[in-house]
Structure 1
């Protein structure tokens, strides 16, 4: 495959399909489980903390190892590591599907996250490496739309599978999908042309990141040794930053954060994706436990979000090309803020048309404005050789945000940690959670407005711009003008 494929060519369309579907499979697994939580909680007699860990075990390993996954792709080839990740993900999904208890399921979910950490960074890096500069933003928009739809479709697919075949099939369905993806990847996608054959691996950084995230997550969810876990997480995080600063080949190159645009875009990602994670965790549970929806109808209730995300994401990419990242990000964050405030109206007597539909419709409008813009802002702040690690950093920030928010919200809103979910307690906690998530969206929009360049400061209509590189004086790429410290 040429390193300059076009969307109009078969090679470009195959590349887009394979990368978007792989990333979408990981995103699907991040949301499809949420609709199954009440069913698997009943079947496995799982407590609230075990339900949180069912979600967070996946996010934990995905967040901790996604930077290492990007480095492995840079070193051994992005297609090769991508393929290994898809195989690993399929096998871990099988283990999830046959788990006899909550403990085994949590371990299997952690293994799923390892596979996801090998898939996600290579997905976007392959697009960035291979597409012609004039098609790159549109390709990112389509990638965001297709993979985003997979995540948005999770509740609908999960609800249908839970009602028709049982919760185990939300995991087992991944096996044929992963098999098909492997076939398409081998037959239609060539290896990335840019490899860093001399790059070393930051094993110490990966271990410290995992320990830091695990300790902080355990402390937030609660249980025995909470204070010790939190202290261990904090010490590990500080040590991680020290190790990364001194390492000759860091997993997280702190030099990237000298760019104001890169730092701001990742901070925006943390707030908006954390808010989305909180919404996708609580809304399906609220619809089923408090509002009385079945798993299928709860999933069906999210369908407008899926449809709007699919339809509008390419336009979000085009809008980012014309206006830059800041304006779509601010608009999308404000729309989602309104949606989450309206979500507090969903309760025991909720009507779909007047209470649920406005929430999912507005979110379906906001997400396509956010996703292509934040991705473009991140990749536009680095040179072409750093796209793999930049993509991994951004995905890591997004997953870590989801991990922290899902761990912290039940504690912050006072939900009891038991195997029985009382609708009255859940309803109160849900309302507070949606208000907090609305605040996170609003904060993300403010950070985008303050931290990203605007019109007249390099963030106008997108055109080929010159990116700084240590190895090259410049490189042409139709991304946002990077901040020059």
Structure 2
């Protein structure tokens, strides 16, 4: 007989609603600007090479600083860091919307990434902190369901605001949503700020990791244009390796003040979840980039129509994410993440049989199966990773996991673009890229089967001696 699960209180429900708004704010911002780039180019008389940094700059700053943001949230209180991060996000949203030239636009957008890097891990920590222990699976499902819906809505919302009002309103709309989320959190989420901060900020570790991740993410981004053998790209990868080695040395000597504490750094189950996330993120971002490319450049779809071509995947992603929380509570991590990777592998194989006459309708089954896999995998792996570390490290754990996702996306972008440009034509290139990604999903399945274990995370934690 199944155990009765703890019901949510009114306070928990309101807190989760407010934090879901904050998740929407961040996830929507990753996709809403993509359709507004042509309008920005026109207004500032610029080119796509420059204006694309509206997306790249934000993602770069967000990815570089998110681990530091997670550590700050665990040290100084998640609610406090969430409020500070949201204030930064809102300030530079306003400045971005009021931009008088392209450089003010790009700088404001990049600095929004500082706020986002503080908000996201704090949000994760607060959501898992609000949920009863026996409902932790629901937390991961909720987060990824909102992310899926936000990513799907983003291009449509951005396009609508750009057409009816102005691209500037993609910035301005952040303000009321952020204020509402902060107000409700202030009223219903308990202040978790410690009376005394017993750990110091690891400035040396923060600096070394920031420089290292900057080198890695910029190298992966620019390698598409310059090639991996370019002296610039080689230099950036060298910076990444040098400062990552320095970071490891610093962390070994930092003791309890380490940016990534030893109990997290030595947790093999946590980092196995990170490796699986890295591999499957390559697959996810390949679909996000090259399904619209195929529809636009091969099938002659408009930009808006090609973006909407992802809707079957994103809608199923959102729906399955929400359901997967309950499945996780009943079946545990291994079954759900394994099923998710199987679906992602199958979906990619189905999408890999492309030719110039391929009709969009024949792609829908593959997109839906891929979306189901993404929904099962991401919500479950997030919960599995965060709950195998000490609860006081949950924001940091969420930040590190998201860093694996960003790195996987950047790596996938470079790898898949290289495969596509080396092919005799675009259709063949996308077909080959999707086939390679199907095998990467298979590799992710092996990682999940071997290293993600246990029916319930609570049992695993007790066995590991963390609680």
Taking structure 1 as the reference length, what is the TM-score of the superposition? 0.82
Matches of 1:237 and 1:336 in 2, distance apart?
A: 31
- The corresponding residue for 1:358 is 365
1:447 equivalent in alignment to 2:447: yes
Q: Tell me if structure 2 keeps the 8 A contact 1:54–1:105.
A: yes
Summarize the alignment of residues 113-262 of structure 1 with structure 2, pairs less than 5 Å apart: 113-165=113-165, 167-192=167-192, 197-220=197-220, 221-222=222-223, 223=226, 225-248=232-255, 249-262=257-270
Query: Which structure has greater helix proportion?
Result: 2
Q: Secondary structure at the match of 1:414?
A: helix
Q: Does residue 1:33 correspond to 2:40, yes or no?
A: no
Give the equivalent residue in structure 2 for 1:265: 273
SS at match of 1:240: helix
- Cα distance change on mapping 1:226 and 1:139 into 2, 3 Å: closer
**Which SS does the other structure have where 2:182 is aligned?**
helix
What CA distance in whole angstroms lies between the structure 1 residues aligned with 2:185 and 2:411?
Answer: 33
The aligned residue for residue 408 of structure 2 is: 401
- Measured after TM superposition, the shift of residue 134 of structure 1 is 2.2
Question: What is residue 478 of structure 1 aligned with on the other side?
Answer: none
Question: Does the residue aligned with 1:14 lie in a helix, a strand or coil?
Answer: helix
Residues 470-481 of structure 1: matches in 2 within 5 Å?
A: 475=467
**Preserved CA contact (<8 Å) 1:149 1:307:** yes
Q: 2:384 aligned with 1:389, yes or no?
A: no
From 305, 309, 312, the equivalent of 1:301 is 309
In the alignment, the residues of structure 2 paired with residue 15 and residue 195 of structure 1 have an alpha-carbon distance, to the nearest angstrom, of 23
Counterpart CA distance in 2 for 1:144 and 1:195 is 33
Please point out which of 279, 291, 300 is paired with 1:292: 300
Do structure 1's residue 460 and structure 2's residue 461 form an aligned pair?
Answer: no
Using the TM superposition, give the Cα deviation of residue 182 of structure 1 relative to its aligned residue in structure 2, in angstroms: 2.4
Instruction: Give the C-alpha shift of residue 121 in structure 1.
Output: 0.8
Matches within 5 A, 1:310-459: 310-345=318-353, 349-355=357-363, 357-414=364-421, 426-453=426-453, 459=454
User: By how many angstroms is 1:80 displaced?
Assistant: 1.4
How much has 1:369 moved relative to structure 2?
Answer: 0.7
Q: Deviations over 1:254-308 (max 9, x none)?
A: 4424332112111111111232233223333443344332333233333333432
Tell me, yes or no, if the aligned pair for 1:34 and 1:284 is still in contact at 8 Å: no
Partners of 2:428 and 2:93 in 1: how far apart? 34
CA displacement at 1:86 relative to structure 2: 1.7
Rate the CA distance shift 1:463–1:182 in 2: closer, same or farther, 3 A.
Answer: closer
Q: Deviations over 1:302-324 (max 9, x none)?
A: 33334323322232112212222
Contact 2:82 2:122 in 1 (8 A): yes
Structure 2 contact 79–193 (Cα < 8 Å) conserved: no
Distance 1:254 1:289, change over 3 A: farther
Cα deviations across residues 131-160 of structure 1 (Å, max 9, x unaligned)? 221233223322332233212332333344
CA deviation after TM superposition for structure 1 residue 45, in Å: 4.6
Question: What is the CA distance between 1:184 and its match in structure 2?
Answer: 2.3
Give the aligned length.
Answer: 454
Question: How far apart in 2 are the matches of 1:15 and 1:244?
Answer: 35
Provide the secondary structure at the position in 2 that maps to 1:292.
Answer: coil
Q: Describe the SS at the equivalent of 1:29.
A: helix
RMSD: 3.2
Moved more, 155-164 or 291-300: 155-164
Q: 1:54: Cα distance to partner? A: 4.2
- In the alignment, structure 1 segments of 5+ residues that lack a partner are 417-423, 454-458, 476-485
Gaps of 5+ in 2: none
